[in-house]
Amino acid sequence: MTNDTSPNDIPEMNLNRKYSPNPIPNLTEAQKEVEKKKKEFDKFKNSAVKRFPFIEAIGIIPAHSIKLFVDEEEAPKETEKFVHLYVIVPEEKLKEIPKMKQDLVKNLEDIESKTWLHVKTPVDIWEMCLDSKFELTSAVALSFPLYDKGILGALRVAEIHKSLVLQKFEKYVVSYVLGGSLVRGENISTSDVDVFIIINDTDVKRMNRVELKERLRAIIHQYIGEATAIAGTKSNLSPQIYLLTDFWESVKDAHPVIFTFIRDGIPIYDRGTFMPWKVLLKMGKLKPSPEAIDMFMRTAERTKEIVDRRLIDAMIDIYYGVLTPSQALLMLYGLPPPTPKETAQRFEDVFVEKEKMLKKSDVAILEKAVKEFKEYEHNLKYVIEGKEIDSMRKDSEKFLKILKNLREKIEKRAQEKTIEQIYNDVFKILETILGKKSESEMIDEFEEKIVRTGKMTHQSLRILKDIVSEKKDFKKGKSNSHKVNETRKNASILIGELIEYSQRKEFMHLEKSRMRLKYSSDGKEKFAELIVVNGRSFLVAGNVIKKITNKIENSDAKELSEAVEKQKLEKAVQINPRVFELLKKEIGNYEVVL
């Protein structure tokens, strides 16, 4: 067995020497010894539990521990080589033990191995501990379990953990004490095993008590996993660490928690410290000092103040619990986040009056929480009764269910708007490209004239059909947020491709209606452009723009832009021959250049 901590972790404690009085028994050897006979004892166990279902545990005492029971006159001398069965029954069945033992002994007659039977209650085990017969308790704890409702597993993990701690800290462990549900007789196989470990810190001088306690806690807690693994139990060990000086201080002040611990605790290891406390308490010799009484009374007097503060804290928690999600839903709806003061009114305006999604009584829950919080903010003497907190808590639970349904409605409406917007945006662009047509005609023409001619990809056609399909599915209630988001992402790709295609088409069309002219003026070579749009021709020479109809007139960039926009709808470019005659009069001889 190895230790993960350095010997220097706890100054002045000799951590190198093994603790010899209580070494951890070799459980593997005990298991091997018993495994051979397990089948015949399983038959006895099944019969016993069926006959007496209140049995809490049946274990086989380790062979090396049998002599302890013989020496204690728990069994005759000749039974040293027998198999010893330890049966534990509840204390309330104490009177039934003699008759029960007779029945069980008869069942043992069918077993070839010589067997001795012990039938005990948990109180018998605790009595052994109180008599400082810790070796007997250890033997019971480490017995091979044939049947166990929890007590053997709890004792086993505590015993192993105790041995690990003793090996590490040697004489500094004052007491190792069991408590909680185990000693009350209420434990089950998964119950926590409460143990209390008292460490003598009186000769540790190079470390303050807080640091010492934290280091001890870390080391002792690291043994929990190892002890649980060795014990093979589901019980969760829960150790509490006390320094001896702190413990004495609590005893002196008669702290109720410590008194309860001393009264109910059962030591499975004690170096003559815990048991004297227990006896003194039983004799009524441990009494609180007048100062301790005053302290406890002051604590009682502060109870109302503490409770009132916690009720206010509960009100504040409820307030934020209904306010924050309400603000979030208003934001989901598309509104900026309102102030806390405005939230209830905004909620009513939007979801009660406008959208008809909620009733006014629903919003009243939010209004109540806001009102209580505002009153607390402006009233230094504010108090709230427990029954009001109960009412607000129930209302808040109801309100949060309402908000959950409201969120689903808002998200569904938002998804519907998203699908409609996507559909409209896509088909509006298609209309500018293909002209006004029905949905099916647009899809067919898009496939025939654009996709199959290689101007756009087959993926674009698939996305277009998916958009149409998703719109139909949404109306049928077959869609979901994932599908809507996927459609939105794909639609943005398609819209980008359609806009790019439309711009390419417009550019090519405008290029067909544009001519570059070369002419001479004042002996210099100059260039101009003839732009033919919407049945009208424009001459652009430098910064001068002129319109050519039956004559040449001054124009401007605005008129040219408007004409170009209208030209997008034209399919062909037509030029009146008279334009060329008027051009010649305007700029003289010219030639068309590329």
Residue 398 is assigned to a structural domain of this protein? no
Q: Report the domain count for the chain.
A: 4
Tens-digit pLDDT profile for residues 507-563: 665 666 778 888 888 888 888 888 887 677 888 887 888 888 888 888 887 887 777
433 with 534, same domain? no
241 with 309, same domain? no
- Measured CA to CA, the distance from residue 457 to residue 284 in angstroms comes to 95
Name the burial class of residue 87, with classes exposed (0-12), middle (13-18) and buried (19+) by CB atoms within 10 angstroms of its CB.
buried
353 with 378, same domain? yes
Last residue of a domain, one of 506, 541, 570: 506
Residue 3 is assigned to a structural domain of this protein? no
Residue 239 is assigned to a structural domain of this protein? yes
Residue 546 is assigned to a structural domain of this protein? yes
309 with 231, same domain? no
Residue showing tokens 């040219």:
560
Chain center to CA of 575: 74
Mean per-residue pLDDT of the chain? 83
> Which of 413 and 397 is assigned the larger pLDDT?
397
Name the burial class of residue 110, with classes exposed (0-12), middle (13-18) and buried (19+) by CB atoms within 10 angstroms of its CB.
exposed
Domain range for residue 547? 513-593
Report the candidate in 277, 59, 270 with the shortest Cα–Cα distance to residue 155: 59
φ and ψ of 529, to 5 deg: -125, 140
Residue 21 is assigned to a structural domain of this protein? no
187 with 91, same domain? yes
pLDDT for res 313 = 93
Token code pair at residue 419 = 């699908």
576 with 524, same domain? yes
Range 321-331 average pLDDT: 92
502 with 518, same domain? no
Range 204-219 average pLDDT: 78
Q: Residue 59 pLDDT > 90, yes or no? A: yes
Single pTM value for the model: 0.50
Range 47-69 average pLDDT: 91
Tens-digit pLDDT profile for residues 349-368: 999 999 899 999 999 999 99
Long-range contacts of 214-217 (CB under 8 A, 24+ apart): 215/9, 215/10, 216/10, 216/169, 216/241, 216/243, 217/241
Range 155-172 average pLDDT: 89
139 with 254, same domain? yes
Residue 11 is assigned to a structural domain of this protein? no
323 with 198, same domain? no
CB contact set of 75 (below 8 Å; sequence gap of 6+): 66, 69, 82, 84, 116, 118
Token code pair at residue 63 = 């062979």
pLDDT for res 542 = 79
Residue 404 is assigned to a structural domain of this protein? no
Name the burial class of residue 142, with classes exposed (0-12), middle (13-18) and buried (19+) by CB atoms within 10 angstroms of its CB.
buried
333 with 462, same domain? no
**Across 129-138, 420-429, 555-564, least confident range:** 555-564
Q: Residue 318 pLDDT > 50, yes or no? A: yes
201 with 315, same domain? no
327 with 425, same domain? no
Residue 12 is assigned to a structural domain of this protein? no
Last residue of a domain, one of 486, 506, 526: 506
